A and B are shown apart, each in its own frame.
Chain A
Amino acid sequence: MTRFMTAVVASFTLVGAAHAEGELNIYNWGNYTNPELIEKFTAETGIEVTITDYDSNTTALAKVEAGGHGFDLVVPSHSYVHIYVDKGLIVKPGIPDMENYGNIAEEWLNVDWDPAREFTVPWQWGTTGVAVNTSVYDGDINTSSIWLDPPEELVGKVNVVPEMQDIINLTLMYVGGEPCSTDKEMLKKARDVLLEAKPKWMSMDYGMTEKLSNSDVMASVNWNGSTFRARNNNPDVAYGYPKEGYPLWMDSVALLSDAQNVDEAKAFMNFIMDPENAALISSFARYANGIDGSEAFMPEDMKTAPEIVVPAELVSAGQFTTACSAEAQEFYTAIWTELQK
């Protein structure tokens, strides 16, 4: 009972004392932060860390924009970084001067949504590709035709995750267009391909880790981390990177402009650019991290995982897709509405 009362009192006072020495408030996706990483950080620096969860970029943005939240660091996806920058919600913490700056891998250093990494430090990145149960289909899986023109064996057994942006981007790249295109010819082609493929699908659903593991679906548009987990349950599951083009995403750590614990936040940003610490991030949430040399500290099963290590010949097919223009967005929505009918 005394312990309970202490906890009660603590929960009232904890946040009131945001200015106390050595505190850090991180606002991150749920189930995304390795507790061991935080323990190590606290052990090395003496800074007490509080993690608060969010479940979507939009929720995080809404709360940060409203102000008065008490957070120091936030972890937006790449397509949201420029929104934070434009609204003045995040500031440059002087990342290039940080001790571990040099560890950022070459390909993650000059990303077009944050040139020279002035605002954000890499957290994790992943890809959207196709997961296929190879016991049913053993042909080439590095193509979007798995779901846009399913082979005989997969007809009626394919799932498509209902993620508008990813699906239309994949289709546009498949028909030879660019993500966020406003080229009506390309958009028309993409729409026709989608409408023609739809009768051959089984479902448009989330939650593929379970369904692939159970062989409830034999193929699906899916994210690499989820496919990695599915393969651990069901060795027949394989991950393909569509050679026609596939979307990349990256979540990065940014310093909020109204942060109370700026020095602590900077210390944490530098801390996670250390290869050993970056590997801790990956070993928990199972995505790659964008820090050179972290592979050496990764768990064995991740070092060679085909879902994490992109085959060299398919690297160039990966594309970062930022938020589309309002015009493109309108076309996307129109196609999506038609597809959902």
Chain B
Amino acid sequence: MAEMSARTDSPIRSVERPGAEPPRKTFSITSLPGFTAIAITAFVLLYAPILTLVVYSFNDSESVALWGGFSLRWYEAAWSNTQVQEATVRSLVIAVFAALISTTVATAAALGTTRRGQFKGQTFIYVMINQPLMVPEIVTAVALLIFFAASKVATGYTGLVYLILAHSAFCVPFAYLPIRARLEGMNLSLETAAADLYATPWKTFRHVTLPLMMPGIAAGAMLAFVISLDDVIITEFVKSAGQDTLPTYMLGQLRRAVTPEVNAISTALLALTVMLLTAFFLLTRKRE
């Protein structure tokens, strides 16, 4: 996404800038009729449900729709619920490892696809890397279920590594896109200069390329972390006994009685996600 905006931005600016003629009435989307109304409706539709969820997390009653006064009891309930504690730790562990692994892989992939000239099969490679974005998640989930089940039976090991591997795999494109966008925005002149000054390829990479692409890597890692933290479908199918993550735990709650405890957990998760996404935007803004 970042990459696309970078691409579309520049030509428009370059068209406007050399404008020697006096400013004429230019086309602007904001002058279309109904622009404000549509924008406001869209934001209300996007945020009203989330706002309701957050408000009812402070509900004193058992219900997620009947207001019974302000209280933090559901936050306390969630905080002291051992199943929630364990699921939270598990979610974070998986997300940290998945982010590390997928970002490493994605960095290598981004370097391999951008720090070189055009090559045959380029589009094919892009599609291959971004496969998890296009294949429906349930297909990946069922495939992993069958594949890992065979492996679990054969090896007898049913630990957390399966979930980490599965998460790492589908997080790769999310980490890859911002890193590639960053690399495409950097031309080769600094690296060429370093090479001219007799820096070895490794030194060039270590002291020139890597520091320059760092914001992209950080943004990719954070996206991967958030995506892993949110995942339900693949986790539900891959998890072994005692491996509920926060989202699968919440899914289980929903089928029975929903209490504002779920709202409280969602709000906490939402806060964490918002913080990370804010950091992501600050980092991507810095590069411009």
Kindly list chain A residues whose C-beta atoms are within 8 Å of the C-beta of B148: 68
A16-B248 CB under 8 A given contacts A11-B89, A27-B241: no
In this complex, the member of A4, A56, A213 whose beta carbon has the largest number of chain B beta carbons within 10 angstroms is: A213
A12-B159 CB under 8 A given contacts A51-B83, A70-B241, A214-B65: yes
Cβ-neighbour of B256 out of A29, A59, A62, A232 (below 8 A): A29
Q: Is B192 an interface residue (CB 8 A)?
A: no
* CB nearest neighbor in A for B253: A31
Cβ-neighbour of A213 out of B66, B160, B244, B253 (below 8 A): B66
Within 8 A of A (CB), among B165-208: none
B62 to chain A, nearest CB (A): 8
In the complex the two chains form, is A56's CB within 8 Å of B255's CB?
Answer: yes
B245 to chain A, nearest CB (A): 10
Q: Which of B28-36, B115-123, B232-240, B265-273 contacts A (4 or more CB under 8 A)?
A: B232-240
Q: Which of B18-26, B149-157, B209-217 contacts A (4 or more CB under 8 A)?
A: B149-157
Could you say which interface size class chain B belongs to?
A: 35 or more
A50-B242 CB under 8 A given contacts A11-B160, A59-B236: yes
B227 to chain A, nearest CB (A): 20
In the complex, A67 Cα to B241 Cα: how many Å? 12
In the complex, A53 Cα to B239 Cα: how many Å? 10
B95 to chain A, nearest CB (A): 12
B67 to chain A, nearest CB (A): 10
B187 to chain A, nearest CB (A): 42
In the complex, A136 Cα to B150 Cα: how many Å? 57
In the complex the two chains form, is B89's CB within 8 Å of A68's CB?
Answer: no
Q: Is A334 an interface residue (CB 8 A)?
A: no
A68-B242 CB under 8 A given contacts A15-B158, A15-B160, A59-B236: no
Q: Is A209 an interface residue (CB 8 A)?
A: yes
In the complex, A41 Cα to B271 Cα: how many Å? 37
Cβ-neighbour of A12 out of B65, B149, B160, B248 (below 8 A): B160
Kindly list chain B residues whose C-beta atoms are within 8 Å of the C-beta of A11: 86, 89-90, 93, 160
Within 8 A of B (CB), among A1-36: 4, 7-8, 11-16, 18, 25, 27, 29-32, 35
Kindly list chain B residues whose C-beta atoms are within 8 Å of the C-beta of A30: 249, 251-256
In the complex, A70 Cα to B64 Cα: how many Å? 35
In the complex the two chains form, is B256's CB within 8 Å of A31's CB?
Answer: yes
Q: Is A229 an interface residue (CB 8 A)?
A: yes
> A194-211 vs B: 1/0 string, CB under 8 Å?
000000000000000111
B202 to chain A, nearest CB (A): 33
A69-B152 CB under 8 A given contacts A30-B254, A55-B254, A214-B66: yes
Q: Is B146 an interface residue (CB 8 A)?
A: yes
In the complex the two chains form, is A52's CB within 8 Å of B242's CB?
Answer: yes
A173 to chain B, nearest CB (A): 25
Kindly list chain B residues whose C-beta atoms are within 8 Å of the C-beta of A27: 241
In the complex the two chains form, is A16's CB within 8 Å of B257's CB?
Answer: no
In the complex the two chains form, is B242's CB within 8 Å of A16's CB?
Answer: no
Q: Is B53 an interface residue (CB 8 A)?
A: no
In the complex, A67 Cα to B149 Cα: how many Å? 5
In the complex the two chains form, is B242's CB within 8 Å of A55's CB?
Answer: no
Q: Is A326 an interface residue (CB 8 A)?
A: no
Q: Is B145 an interface residue (CB 8 A)?
A: yes
Q: Is B104 an interface residue (CB 8 A)?
A: no
Q: Is B130 an interface residue (CB 8 A)?
A: no
Kindly list chain B residues whose C-beta atoms are within 8 Å of the C-beta of A213: 63, 65-66
Kindly list chain A residues whose C-beta atoms are within 8 Å of the C-beta of B93: 8, 11
Kindly list chain B residues whose C-beta atoms are within 8 Å of the C-beta of A45: none
Kindly list chain B residues whose C-beta atoms are within 8 Å of the C-beta of A15: 158-160, 240-243
| Subset of 7 A-B contacts with CB under 8 Å | A7-B86, A15-B159, A15-B240, A52-B242, A53-B251, A210-B65, A233-B61
Nearest 7 pairs of A and B residues by beta carbon: A30-B252, A68-B152, A53-B252, A66-B149, A70-B241, A50-B242, A25-B241
In the complex, besides A31-B257, A213-B65, 19 extra interface pairs with C-beta distance below 8 angstroms are: A8-B93, A12-B159, A13-B159, A15-B160, A35-B82, A52-B241, A53-B248, A55-B251, A62-B237, A66-B145, A66-B146, A68-B152, A69-B241, A70-B241, A211-B65, A229-B62, A232-B62, A233-B63, A286-B257
